[in-house]
Each structure stands twice: as C-alpha cells, then as structure tokens.
Amino acid sequence: MTSRWITAAALAATLWACGGGQREVVVYTAHDQRLSEPILDLFEEETGIQALAVYDTEATKTTGLVNRLLAEADRPQCDVFWNNEIVQTLRLVREGVTQPHLSQNAAGIPAAFQDPEGHWTGFAARARVIVYNTALQPERPKIATYDDILRPPWARESGIALPLFGTTATHFALIHSQLGPEGTQRWLDSLTENGVQVLDSNGQVCDAVARGALRMGWTDTDDVAVAQAEGYPVAQVLPSSGMILIPNTVCMIDGAPHRAEARALIDFLLRADIEHLMASGPGRQIPLHAGVSPPRGVLRLQDETVLEVDWNAVADSFDAASELAARWAEAESLQ
Amino acid sequence: MTRGLPLRLVSGLGLLLLAALLVGPVISVALASLMRAEAPLSMPPALWLHSAVIAAVAVTVAVAVGMTIALWAAHVRTPSLRALITLAGAFPLVIPMYVHGMAMWQVSVRLGLYRELADEGPWSDLLVVGFVQGLRLSAFVHLITLAGWHSLHARWLEAGLLVGPRGFVRRRLLGPLLAPFVALAALLVAVISVTDVSIPLLFQVRSVIAMRLWWAHYAGLDPIGAWGAMVAPSLLVLAAVALITPPLWRRAAPLLSARRDPAEIPRGEGGQWLFALGGVIAVVLANGALIHLFVQITSLSLLAETFRANTGLISATVTTALGAAAVAMFAGGALALFLGDRGWRTVPPLLIALVFFTVPGFLWAVAAVSWWSAPGLRGDLYETGTVRWLVLGGRLLVIPAVILALAHARQSRTQREAALGLGWWHRWWGVVWPPLRRAAWVAYALVALMVIGDLDAAILMDLPGHTTLVVGLCNRLHISPRSPEVAMMAAVILATSLAMLALPAIVSGGWRRWREIR
Amino acid sequence: MSAPRISVAGVHLAFRRREVLRGFDLAVEPGACVGLLGVSGSGKTTALRILAGLERPQRGEVRIGDEIVTGDGVFVSPHRRGVGLVFQDLALWPHLTARGHLDLVARALGLSRAERRARVGEWLERCRLTSVARQRPDQLSGGEQQRLALARTLLPEPHVLLLDEPFAACDRPLVEDLKALVAEIHRGQHLTTLMVSHDWRDMEGLVDSVAVLEAGHVAVHGTAAQAMAHLADSPLGRFFRC
C-alpha cells in the first residue's frame, strides 16, 4: 500500500514539475546564477511571465548551454539565450540558431556592441584587466598593453588562464585575429620561454594573485571584485592603450516556442535601469548605455579607452585559435 | 582448473577482442552521426599513458581503502555498527566528483601539499589526481566487495580455519573468493577514472584522454563531435574488459550458484569494539573532512533556511534522480532477467552496456539531446521532460544490470521452477523478486547517487526552471567556495541523497527485513 | 601422537539469550567412536563447533588429550587442535577443483611441492577421487562430494574426527558405502571420532557408544541398547528413526 502511495506521489510530483498554464519564457543563461537569478525574479515580478531558467556552471566553462542549443536546433526548447560573453553567441548566429529582434531599449547601447540585424545585443560588460597583489606590488604598475606582464621582468611572476575557455579564449582569439596563425604561435611560445604560469581559469589566476603565489595576471573585473569583497590585497590596472570590453549578450532563438515572452525578456534585460542594477551587484558589470552612471568602484565607459574590436573577425579566428591553444597546451603538459 | 581451459580461455579472449573491434567502431560511428561529427582528434600515446597511470593509482587507492572498510564492516557483528560502517564507506558517493575535488584541492592547498607535490613535475600531478579520484571511488570497491562478502558461505572460511591460521585463510581463501568482486570494482573504478574530467581539471592535469575529449567538446574545436577519439577509448575499454571478464565470470559463476549462509569470521581475541569504532571514526572523519575542512557550518537556522530556499532545486533533483533510477532499474533489471542463466552469453550485452557507461556524461547527453530533439514524436516526448530519465538512466543501466544479474544467478533455477504452477505475477512477486530486493536497493542507491552528482549531464538535461542541486552548488562554489552558503548547499545535497537512499528501503519494507536478518 | 581422549565439562553457550548448551558434559575415550544423537536444535552441531574451536562457550572446559583447548582464559586456535570436521553441508570451496582442495590443505601444512603432490595423490586415491581430481564441486556427484569433504578433513592427519550429519543427504546404498569408508579410516588412522546425527541408522555398526543430547545437555551416554532404552521412555523417542 505504501509503495502505491509513493508511486502516485512521484507521478504527481513529475506532472507538477512538467505542467502549468502560466505565461512563461525559457531562458538559458551562462551568466553566474547568483547574479542572474535576482534579475529574472524581478522580470517575473514586473511582467507576470514566469522565467524558466537553465543555468550553466563554471565547471563546464559555461559552454555547456551553447552545445545544448546546437543539439536542440531541430526542435528548440529555449526562447532566449543570455550569454556572459560574445563569441559563443556569434557561433550560434552562424549556425542559424538565432532569430533577429531589434529592441527599442538597445538604442542607448553603442553600435559596436550590437548586431545591425538584431540577432544579438550586448549589455553589461566585463573588462579584461590586470590584477596585481598590493602586498607584493604596492605601487600601481605602469602597463601599456596586456602583453607587458607576459614579458620580462614580470613574466615569471605573472599568470594567465588557459586560452581555451571563457574570456581568455576570446582574448586569445582577438590576438589570433590580429597576429595571424604564425604570430600567434610565436606568442604562445614566448609564454613558455618567459616562464608565464598558465592556470585553468581566470578565477584561479585571481586566486593565485590574491594568495601571493603570483604577483599579477590577466583576469576580469568581476573576479577582482569578488577577491576584493573577500578582503584579499588585490587591485586592478588597465593598459594605457585601451581595455578589452566583453559584454553579456542576449539573443532570441529561432523557432522559440514563446516569442512574445522572449521579446519581453530581451527588452527587459536591455533596459538602462537593469544595467545599473547589474553594475550595483557583486559582479560590478560595466554599463554600456550612454546615460547610466555606475556606482563607485565600477569602471565608467566614458572615462576609459576601449579597444575597438571587430567581433566577427574574432569569431572567425576562434576555432583556429582554440585548435592552436589546445595543441600548445597539450604539448606543454606533455613536456 | 579443467584441462581445456587455456585453449578455451585463448579462444574466448580472441572472440571477445574481435567483438570489441567490431562493436567499438560501430558504437563510435553511431555516436558520431548523432553528434554531427566533423573531424577526428589526435590522441598522442602519452595521453594514454598518463590516463593509465591515473587509473592505476585510482584503482590502487580505491581498492586499498574500499576493501579495508568493507572488511571492517564484514568483521563487525554488531548490526548497528556494521550498518554505520557500511554507510560511512558508501558516503563518498553522495559527494559529486567535482565537489569532492574542490574540497581536496582546498585542503591540499591549505596544507601546502599540493604545490609541493605539483612542483615535483607532471608525474606527481598524475599521482595526486589518481589519489583524489581513488578516495571517492573507494565507495564502489567498498560496496561491491561487501556484496561479494555476502555471497560467501560462512562454512567456506571455517573449513579453512580448521587447517590454517587466520592469515592463511585470508590470503589463500578469502582473497581468491573475493577476487572476482574486487576485480569488477577495480574495472569500474578504472573506467570512471579514465573518463572523469573534474579532477584533472581542478588539479590542472591536461595531458589525459578525458581532457582532450573535453577540450574538443567545450572549446568547440570539433563542434560536439570528437568521434575519432571515441573509437580508441571504446576499443581500449572493450579490450580491457575482454581480458578480464571471462576469467572473472568463470570464477564468479560457481561462487554464485553455490549454497551459502552469510559469512562471518569468528570473533577476534578482543578489542573488536575498539577496532570497529576506530574504523567508523576514521571513515566518517575522512569523508566528513572533505566538506567540513573548507567550509564552516554556522547554524541550524541557516540550514533550515537553505532547505526552504532550495525546495525547487530539491524537487527537481529528486524527480530527476527517481525517474532516472527507475528507468535504469527497469531496463537493467529486464536485461538481467532476460539474460537469466545464459552463462557466458550474458557477457556481450553487459559489455555493450558498459561501453555506454564509459562514454563521458557530456558526450552521451549531447548525443541524446541531438537525437531526441527532433520534429515529430521524438520531439514531443522530449518536451515532456521524461527524456532526461531515459538518457540518464540509459547510461547507467549497466549498474543494475550487473548487480541484478549477479543476484539472479545466485538464485537456484529449481527454486524458480518450483513455482511454475503459479501465474506469472505471483511467480515474479513471490519467488523471483524477494531475493533480488536487496540487490535492487543497492543498484537503485548507486544509480540515484550517480545521477545526483552528474554535473556534466545535468547542464544538458535539466528542465527549464528546474535546476538541480549539483548545478546550484557548483555555481555557488565557483563564486565563494568558503562561504557558509556552500556548506549549507552541500548539507542539503547530503540530506537529499540520504533521503533518496531511505525511500526504497521504506517502500520495500527492506529496513524491517534488514533488521530481521541481523 | 596417538588417539587422544576428549573431555567436555560444564559447557554453557547461549545465542542472544537462547541457551543452546546447558551444562554439556561428555567424555570420549581414546580411539573410540561415539555417536551424538539428538533432535534438531538440541545443540549437536554447536557441541561439535565448540570442540573444533569455531565457537567459544561462555562457561566450561574442553580438553583434547592432556591439553585444555577451551577454558577459563584459554583458547587454542582451530588449526592447532588436531581436529578435523566434516560439515553437514560439506562447505566445499566452489572455486577450487578436488585436487585444489587437497593442495590448499597440504599447503597449510607447509609441505614441499613434492610432498604435497604425493600426499594429495595418496588421498585422492584413498577416497576414489583420482578420476575427478580436476572437477569443481558443482561438477561432482553427491558421493564424490562427500568423499572429497572427508579427504580434505583427513589429509592433515587429525587425531580427532568430527562428523556433522555426514550422510544426511545420501541414499541408503551410498550411506553404507560411506560408512565403510569412515570405519576404515577411523581404525586405520587411530582416530577418536565423534559423529552427530538424528538418524540412528547412520551410526549403526559404526559407533562404540551413543550419547543422547536433550535440551542442551547429555541425558544418557552408554551403549546403543542403553540409549535406545532411554529414548523408548522419552517423549522425544518418536522423533528418532530407531
């Protein structure tokens, strides 16, 4: 008898899990769950549309969802993809997984951070920065380019993440698009020659700098923010030649089951006040809307030099760059 | 040994290797077509070597730890103590591999061990990875060895005690009798160790097969493909299984069909309680330390709050694990019963099921999503959310299949034949099922725990709006690994897992039977 | 060492509050063959296990020859008692062949390879197992299994032979065959033998005296006629096939 009740309860729970007649939108998000969840809650509160989210994790280098979207291309389940970077989004655009939506709320966002056809729009960015340990390096280092710390005299005490994943992969693809395959190979070889430490993620680089195992390294603004919030002696510095800005991107999936709701969510995410909210959060995202003034401690777009990046060229280079990085990393680890 | 054994052994191995050569590529090509493969990957021999080193270390550590705990549990006569040790030994399974790795990483960094070891060069990294994996995977060895122990007859060991001292009995009788079970567990550990990416990722060991596959998958080198790489691991695993299985089966079969009572080594000279208690404390501490060393649980109210705040995650986890375990149990159980008394012919289907298991979770899930998410009936079913049960359960069906096949083989054919006059339902429910109940419980527990901890597949299989605990935990872990919130989430996972373990026991009245048996 | 005297005095053993043996006393003279008769659950098997050292009683003393093997603060390991036990279910090792069984036992004695081969060959021959030496227990007939269990027990040349319902699962012709083998070995090896059964016919012609076990203690120990007389008066008599 007990077993029947439990079976019935399990079935009921499943039906409950699958059912529901409310308006809803399915969003896959590679943005940190802790940062994106409150924003989606706010969306639900304001619109009454239930946001059914699927989250990615750092453990899968936030590319698991891109692969899921590609796998689901013949029968999409997802309406909106909220990515925490741009290159994988461009990959989806090229695979024909997205459909255009030109949001009015994107008007204040610079043209460099949106697709003219509306397949994707950027918002709330992270910057690539150089993090340094203030105990080991009390003076703010003078850095002209990102590559400065990968050369003597700093190289042996510097670290970067493996250029296969996340924003470092994007950064590396940018290098590849500028230097070409041979130049990039030389760049990789110089890492070995100069003794640069290559760790697995930006988080690990920041952690190593925070603990004093490294003097400085490449990472993102949000990682520095987390380390500072935990009380570690770290600070960030931007190259004087300009910073690389990597925006969150949002796109609508082709064949989305809930189109109206998907548009509503994209419009919501692209609002200036949401950018302000994201700037105020622990991720300290940099607002792209011209009129948004971020809280103290967050970089202001107007005050900094931003490197102009041809993201399509970066996306073109991405696969070749990854292949190169993988082979280099493999060769390094086999030595 | 029978006279014709070497010839039979060689011909059997030859046939199995041939099957491996045929089956491996077929499965790989099938997966490749599902995954829209593009280009094969290179697999330098060094990658194989490194993976083999890690697997060897993992197997050594897992067998040493797992067998020790299993023999402790078997040695103790007090039922409550025995149950405690058994649970403690199984505990590492409750912790997802990634979380276990994070904990070990934190511990080793804090103690300064990791850097010291890592500075010794890449070989020490391999040893560290194998060691960390082996500690968690010891639970498999523990459970399977204990299952093996229960299939022994007390008199077999007593007959040995009459002719030789305890050490002789352990070495010459207990060891060989348990060998098939330990070998099976070691094989499982080796397979999981080779295909795991969590620990190599955390400890920055990049020159292993799993990482190469993982890079191919996640770095988009070979979009969703990696088929060329799949051929080689399939063949390796099949060859290894082909080498091990026939002798294993030959040794296990007479054990399983023999009459028996649960084995007991006679009481020791004294200090048994101290010995057992020491075992419990050591095991619980070793496992508990994994989580507690890098977090601080602050208060019960925070724990309650975490439970309240994560009811959605808990229900998603429970429904996913229950469904997947049910699918694995039904499919694996049906396979086991269908195979029945077919002797060596049970091996090829089980081998194929094992190959499915060796395919890394993320590749399996992507292939499955690609196939199910299509226009028409398949897609309709995919939208209901039930496919995740089929996919996760399908990958793990080898576990219940093997466990139930072993349990079924223990039942004498005449016992079943004696019930031929009964209807099929009464025969099944009254005769076939009761002896399988405990094995089914163990199989269910293993599958449910593995589903709960399977992060790679979770990303690809979670229903929209129904994130599972492991994803929730890993996201928090990434942001602030030392926060009380992470500790709370870990505690919630443990509690949910334990509740899931208790469920079938309550349903089947297993707990009452367990106590009766003791 | 010649056949020893066995004496058991005041043995008590309880399993979870259930008393199995209560003041169990028994003396078996050197070279004698004694039958222990009793209903199921009367403690026969437990008595044998205590003699063999597989159970430790809560109270009482067991002597084999002049040595106390179980007693107050004394416990001699089973393999040092010079005792051989044939289990009721035989307890053959399922993973070993007939030869493998005997070889393992010979190995425990520390014999050299040549000695082992000779000793194993001798016992295979004596118990008529040579033709099935490479078979595992599940490939042997009932009689062959019984003979293998006997051979395994006798190979170390024990001074005391304990038989626990040795013919329980055999038909009459086989029982007679095995009884002849046991009788031959008992006399030929100069053993002190204690045999447990619930069936008088299994003991008939084999034992010198019979002890009747009732409620955990020996009610009578004497000749077969005395035991039969006791059983005829006892309400338990109808349970024995006399």
Subunit partners of chain C (3 or more CB pairs within 8 A): B
One-letter amino acid identity for B382? Y
Domains and CATH numbers, chain A: 22-124+246-302 (3.40.190.10), 126-244+313-334 (3.40.190.10)
Q: Lowest mean pLDDT: which of A11-25, A209-223, B442-456, C132-146?
A: A11-25
Integer angstrom CA distances of residue C86 from A150, B159, B265, C26, C40:
79, 8, 18, 20, 18
- Give the model's pLDDT for residue A267: 96
Out of B3, B158, B266, closest to residue C134 by CB: B3
Tell me the three-class secondary structure of A132-163, residue by residue. Answer: EECCCCCCCCCCCCHHHHHCCCCHHHEEEECC
Selected residue of B152, B163, B177 to mutate for chain C interface (largest C Cβ count, 10 A)? B163
Does the beta-carbon distance from A17 to B207 stay under 8 Å? no
Does the beta-carbon distance from C104 to B159 stay under 8 Å? no
B219: which chain A residues are within 8 Å (Cβ-Cβ)? 61, 63, 164-165, 169, 322, 325-326
**B513-518 average pLDDT score:** 46
- Give the model's pLDDT for residue B2: 35
- For B334, the 3-state DSSP assignment is helix
By the 8 A CB rule, do C178 and C202 touch? Answer: no
By the 8 A CB rule, do B455 and A57 touch? Answer: yes
Using a CB–CB cutoff of 8 Å, tell me whether B33 touches chain A.
no
Give A242→chain B minimum CA distance, Å. Answer: 27
Euclidean distance between CA atoms B348 and B339, whole angstroms: 10
Selected residue of B206, B364, B489 to mutate for chain A interface (largest A Cβ count, 10 A)? B206
Tokens of C23: 């003041």
Q: Rounded to a whole number, what is the distance in angstroms from the first to the last CA of chain A? A: 63
φ, ψ of residue A57 in degrees (nearest 5): -135, 160
The pLDDT of residue A234 is above 90: yes
Euclidean distance between CA atoms B28 and B232, whole angstroms: 9
| Closest residue in B to C53 (Cα–Cα) | B162
Within 10 angstroms of residue B376's Cβ, the number of other Cβ atoms is: 9
* A138-142 contact pairs (CB < 8 A, 24+): A140/A235, A140/A237, A141/A216, A141/A237, A142/A240
B198: which chain A residues are within 8 Å (Cβ-Cβ)? 59
Does the beta-carbon distance from A162 to B462 stay under 8 Å? no
Within 10 angstroms of residue A188's Cβ, the number of other Cβ atoms is: 23
By the 8 A CB rule, do B43 and B209 touch? Answer: yes
Tokens of C114: 């040549």
- For A22, the 3-state DSSP assignment is coil
Residue C34, H or E segment:
strand C33-37
Euclidean distance between CA atoms A158 and A142, whole angstroms: 15
Scanning C127-241, the segments in alpha helix (DSSP H) are 142-154, 172-188, 200-203, 224-233
- Give the model's pLDDT for residue B264: 45
Is chain B in touch with chain C: ≥3 Cβ pairs within 8 A? yes
φ, ψ of residue B323 in degrees (nearest 5): -65, -45
Euclidean distance between CA atoms B359 and B363, whole angstroms: 7
Euclidean distance between CA atoms B364 and B341, whole angstroms: 31
Q: How confident is the model at residue B271 (pLDDT cuts 50, 70, 90)?
A: very low
Please choose, from the candidates A79, A96, A111, the residue with its C-alpha nearest in 3D space to the C-alpha of residue A269. Answer: A79
By the 8 A CB rule, do C70 and C39 touch? Answer: no
By the 8 A CB rule, do B485 and B472 touch? Answer: no
| Closest residue in B to A7 (Cα–Cα) | B507
Q: Lowest mean pLDDT: which of A183-192, A217-226, A269-278, B193-202?
A: B193-202
Q: pLDDT tens, B372-409?
A: 888 888 888 888 888 889 888 888 888 888 778 777 77
- Give the model's pLDDT for residue A263: 96
Give A249→chain B minimum CA distance, Å. Answer: 19
Domains and CATH numbers, chain C: 1-82+158-242 (3.40.50.300), 92-157 (no CATH)
Question: Residues 6 or more apart from A11 whose CB is under 8 A from it?
Answer: none
pLDDT tens, chain C, 242 aa long:
578 899 999 999 887 677 888 889 999 999 899 999 888 778 888 999 999 998 889 899 999 998 999 988 888 988 899 999 999 888 888 888 999 999 999 998 888 999 999 999 999 998 889 999 999 888 888 889 989 998 999 999 899 999 998 877 677 777 888 888 888 888 887 889 999 987 778 888 888 899 988 888 888 888 888 888 887 776 656 555 44
**Percent helix, strand and coil across chain B, each to the nearest 5:** 80, 0, 20
Out of B158, B168, B177, closest to residue C95 by CB: B177
B466: which chain A residues are within 8 Å (Cβ-Cβ)? 17, 52
Using a CB–CB cutoff of 8 Å, tell me whether B42 touches chain C.
no
Q: Which of residues 127-156 of B touch A (CB under 8 A)?
A: none
By the 8 A CB rule, do A172 and A328 touch? Answer: no
Q: How confident is the model at residue A44 (pLDDT cuts 50, 70, 90)?
A: very high
**A171-186 average pLDDT score:** 94
Does the beta-carbon distance from A67 to B460 stay under 8 Å? yes
Is chain A in touch with chain B: ≥3 Cβ pairs within 8 A? yes
The length of chain C is 242
Tokens of C68: 């106390």
Euclidean distance between CA atoms C198 and C191, whole angstroms: 22
Does the beta-carbon distance from B258 to C152 stay under 8 Å? no
By the 8 A CB rule, do B394 and B326 touch? Answer: no
Residue C17, judged by CB atoms within 10 A of its CB (0-12, 13-18, 19+), counts as exposed
Integer angstrom CA distances of residue B402 from A107, A109, B144, B262:
61, 59, 11, 21
Q: pLDDT tens, A257-292?
A: 999 999 999 999 999 999 999 998 888 899 999 888
Please choose, from the candidates A200, A214, A231, A191, the residue with its C-alpha nearest in 3D space to the C-alpha of residue A130. Answer: A214
Residue with tokens 């103290």: A296
Q: How confident is the model at residue B113 (pLDDT cuts 50, 70, 90)?
A: low
B202: which chain A residues are within 8 Å (Cβ-Cβ)? 200
Tell me the three-class secondary structure of B363-419, residue by residue. Answer: HHHHHHHHHHCCCCHHHHHHHHCCHHHHHHHHHCCHHHHHHHHHHHHHCCHHHHHCC
Tell how far CA B34 is from the center of its chain.
Answer: 26
Pairing of strands A50-55, A24-29: parallel
Q: How confident is the model at residue B284 (pLDDT cuts 50, 70, 90)?
A: low
Q: What is the DSSP letter of C95?
A: T
Domains and CATH numbers, chain B: 299-518 (1.10.3720.10)
Euclidean distance between CA atoms A129 and A127, whole angstroms: 6
Question: For all residues of chain A together, what is the average pLDDT?
Answer: 87
Within 10 angstroms of residue B295's Cβ, the number of other Cβ atoms is: 22
The length of chain B is 518
- Give the model's pLDDT for residue B110: 62
Residue B444, judged by CB atoms within 10 A of its CB (0-12, 13-18, 19+), counts as buried
| Closest residue in B to A323 (Cα–Cα) | B221
Q: What is the DSSP letter of B340?
A: T
Integer angstrom CA distances of residue A257 from A40, A79, A100, A234, B408:
19, 6, 15, 46, 47
Please choose, from the candidates A104, A160, A106, the residue with its C-alpha nearest in 3D space to the C-alpha of residue A130. Answer: A160
Euclidean distance between CA atoms A25 and A56, whole angstroms: 17
Using a CB–CB cutoff of 8 Å, tell me whether B518 touches chain C.
no
Euclidean distance between CA atoms B189 and B139, whole angstroms: 10
| Closest residue in B to A70 (Cα–Cα) | B370
According to DSSP, the residues that pair with C70 across neighbouring strands are: C62, C75
Please choose, from the candidates A256, A255, A250, the residue with its C-alpha nearest in 3D space to the C-alpha of residue A274. Answer: A250
Q: Lowest mean pLDDT: which of A196-205, B105-114, B319-328, B402-411?
A: B105-114
Using a CB–CB cutoff of 8 Å, tell me whether B499 touches chain C.
no
Give B251→chain C minimum CA distance, Å. Answer: 6
ipTM of the complex: 0.85
Residue C114, H or E segment:
helix C113-126
Q: Which residues of C touch B (CB under 8 A)?
A: 52-56, 75, 77-79, 83-85, 87, 89, 91-95, 97, 100, 104-105, 107-109, 134-138, 152-153, 156
The pLDDT of residue B95 is above 90: no
The pLDDT of residue B266 is above 50: no
Selected residue of A58, A74, A324 to mutate for chain B interface (largest B Cβ count, 10 A)? A74
By the 8 A CB rule, do C203 and C37 touch? Answer: yes
**A37-59 average pLDDT score:** 90
Q: How confident is the model at residue B415 (pLDDT cuts 50, 70, 90)?
A: low
Q: CA geometry: angle at C56 spanning B276 and C182, to 5°?
A: 125
Q: Lowest mean pLDDT: which of A112-121, A209-218, B136-145?
A: B136-145
B205: which chain A residues are within 8 Å (Cβ-Cβ)? 333
According to DSSP, the residues that pair with C9 across neighbouring strands are: C61
Q: Lowest mean pLDDT: which of A241-255, B110-124, B254-268?
A: B254-268
C54: which chain B residues are within 8 Å (Cβ-Cβ)? 158, 161-162, 266
Using a CB–CB cutoff of 8 Å, tell me whether B410 touches chain C.
no
Does the beta-carbon distance from C137 to B258 stay under 8 Å? yes
- Give the model's pLDDT for residue C173: 76
Please choose, from the candidates B172, B18, B95, B10, the residue with its C-alpha nearest in 3D space to the C-alpha of residue B489. Answer: B95
Euclidean distance between CA atoms A118 and A124, whole angstroms: 17
Using a CB–CB cutoff of 8 Å, tell me whether B308 touches chain C.
no
Rg value, chain C, Cα:
18
Q: How confident is the model at residue B38 (pLDDT cuts 50, 70, 90)?
A: very low
Q: CA geometry: angle at A129 spanning A126 and A130, to 5°?
A: 160
More confident residue, B350 or C7: C7
**A295-300 average pLDDT score:** 83
Q: Which of residues 456-475 of B touch A (CB under 8 A)?
A: 456, 459-460, 462-467, 471-472, 474-475
